[in-house]
Amino acid sequence: MNNMKLKSTLFNDSPLPFALRYGQVGKIYLKIPFWDMFKSPLVIQIEDIFGLVGIKPMSEWDENMQREAYRETAQKILEQFEIYVK
pLDDT for res 22: 93
Full DSSP string of 4-50 = EEPPTTTTTTSSSSEEEEEEEEEEEEEE--GGGTTTS--EEEEEEEE
Residues in the chain: 86
Q: How many whole angstroms from its chain centre is CA 74?
A: 18
Of 23, 15, 16, nearest to 52 (Cα)? 23
**pLDDT per position in the chain (86 positions), as tens?**
788 888 888 777 776 778 889 999 899 898 888 888 788 888 999 899 899 988 877 776 667 777 887 788 788 888 777 666 65
Q: What is the pTM of this model?
A: 0.52
**How many angstroms separate the CA atoms of 48 and 52, rounded?**
13
CB 50 within 8 A of CB 77: no
The CB density around residue 84, as the number of other CB atoms within 10 Å, is 6
